[in-house]
Structure 1
């Protein structure tokens, strides 16, 4: 990790908003480079600490479509031009050879780490999974990823996470099992591995975003209490209304004394309700990407909601739920911020 520049590394360590970057397409389902750049500019101007590209929200099918490298290049170019030195994370997945190849591509393009998905690796035992992770970590720093089972993840026991956290080049872990027990398994494993100062924890639990960020977990090790916090979020949810997410996390980092416990819990519940709409929980998450596109379309950042898969669209009733959410809670949006800057982001 010594080759990561101090500013992006410090941003990751402090904890920040890291949007999972969507894919901008034309009506012909080809890459819309102008709008793809505009999205990166939006996130960076909104104050995001980093960008995660080539992940689920970017659509895994970019690999088969030959867009993996071009999409990573566009985001890296905008990050370099922005001057804020964001932390860049690229998705890596598949069998070991594929994951290593994608990691080498990310490193060559100036990314700082890869978010390593273990989806589809169910047939591998724990030793094989750790060897797989070590192979990728041998190329560049790794962000672990505990993905919920409903969308292709697998149960990964505390023993796996303790061994994973012990890999020297593991930089952070995104916890997204949508399960409190399994989230705590990861936190306890990091403490057991004595890696709490090296491995920064990020939430991907879209059903518990605010509470994850507020909670300090206290784990006893050798009779001494070790306090651990989830520092930031790497979230598809934060691919929309990003300015509001930055303001929220800043308030939490500044200590949440301005709100009562009741108010914070109410905000956690509202955020979860909003995520249920965006991620189409009613239809087993089928419309999650298209709904994010719809929000960005309404803001004028995307031209349409097209996905690489022509059959991928918002789920039954999801549009109506989104309309109702926006009508009842306009405070969730950053529409005014986007309207102020959108034309500049779309220029060039």
Structure 2
């Protein structure tokens, strides 16, 4: 059983087209590093009530090691079941896909069977392959499920990809969106240039994964020449590990950005200044000082402080907070208290954990 974007309900496609907050869902574990079903359910409920437009599950923030621990389908299924039982509104569900082609195909088929609407395809396992081979890999997986392309930063294993790669990716009939996360302005522009060259800007939706540039990615217009005219594109929303925490505030921020854009005129100074504040928080959550060593554990720590997670345990016992990271999280909590949603979580936590 395969899935094509044309089979997706219009209300699902409109979630992506209009622009949504899509958190990359963490993995809830107990002290024995076993799957904590109750707290995983609480996370899904939190994201729904916070106003997220969808969830990305089985991605980096969920920990790639769920595959070797036999948890991939278990975790993906839990998010679908919990979202359907908690809310009647549609959510756009994205499954993380990775590995060589055979593995990615199997994961795509599992995701479709479980009710996912698209696959976020990591190319890290094939990072040393030529672009023609990468495109063939994408095309094969796109035969099974609508694809969200993923430009992963090279520091953690992503390949460097040309603008022409993204042009050719956008021409795949089942290409749906691109998560731009190279953490590099030049490479981010390469993605946009490729989408414009393919005349796919109204069909392949741009989502930011650049946790170091979230606000301005969402707020600024990007303009490129095509056939003697200038074409303007915008980033519709975000698919972010950063948005796995303080999610209700992220939803409000995206709504505010959309409102300023719709009103026309210059963006407000407060909105422009928000970019550096959000990036400062991300630096703490993602442990930038230690080259992202604690990027997953940092998000867990925020959720632990709020009571959503019992601890910061990861499947790998060596994966934990980096040196000084807890102090950095203390600092951004103190310096940017209006960006936290602890009050929202406190009002609802008992209900989510029930």
TM-score between the two structures when normalised by the length of structure 2: 0.96
Aligned to 2:35: 31
Alpha-carbon distance, 1:8 to partner: 1.7
Aligned to 1:289: 296
CA–CA distance in 2 between the matches of 1:8 and 1:41?
19
Aligned to 2:91: 86
> What secondary structure does 1:88 align onto?
strand
Aligned to 2:269: 262
Give unmatched runs, 5+ long, in structure 2.
Answer: none
Residues 77-109 of structure 1 deviation map (CA, whole Å, 9 limit, x = unaligned): 122221111000000000000000000000000
Aligned to 1:306: 313
> What secondary structure does 1:255 align onto?
helix
Aligned to 1:271: 278
97, 102, 109: which one pairs with 1:97? 102
CA–CA distance in 2 between the matches of 1:71 and 1:122?
26
129, 154, 157: which one pairs with 1:124? 129
CA–CA distance in 2 between the matches of 1:95 and 1:28?
31
Indicate yes or no: 2:336 matched with 1:329: yes
CA–CA distance in 2 between the matches of 1:103 and 1:168?
16
Aligned to 2:159: 154
Contact 2:50 2:251 in 1 (8 A): yes
Residues 249-298 of structure 1 deviation map (CA, whole Å, 9 limit, x = unaligned): 01111125699543222110011111000000000000011111111011
Alpha-carbon distance, 1:49 to partner: 0.4
Aligned to 1:63: 67
Indicate yes or no: 2:21 matched with 1:17: yes
CA–CA distance in 2 between the matches of 1:115 and 1:142?
6
Give unmatched runs, 5+ long, in structure 1.
Answer: none
Aligned residues: 347
Runs of 4+ aligned residues of structure 1 deviating over 6 Å after TM superposition are: none
244, 255, 276: which one pairs with 1:250? 255
Residues 292-337 of structure 1 deviation map (CA, whole Å, 9 limit, x = unaligned): 1111011110000000000110000000111111122211111111
Task: For 1:110-121, list aligned pairs within 5 A.
Answer: 110-121=115-126
Indicate yes or no: 2:201 matched with 1:196: yes
CA–CA distance in 2 between the matches of 1:99 and 1:88?
17
Alpha-carbon distance, 1:111 to partner: 0.2
Residues 199-229 of structure 1 deviation map (CA, whole Å, 9 limit, x = unaligned): 0000000110000000111222112221100
Q: CA RMSD in A?
A: 1.2
> What secondary structure does 2:132 align onto?
helix
Contact 2:206 2:237 in 1 (8 A): yes
Contact 2:277 2:336 in 1 (8 A): no
Aligned to 1:51: 55
Aligned to 1:178: 183
Contact 2:247 2:341 in 1 (8 A): yes
CA–CA distance in 2 between the matches of 1:325 and 1:113?
34
CA–CA distance in 2 between the matches of 1:74 and 1:25?
14
167, 170, 195: which one pairs with 1:165? 170
CA–CA distance in 2 between the matches of 1:206 and 1:325?
15
CA–CA distance in 2 between the matches of 1:229 and 1:122?
28
Aligned to 1:345: 352
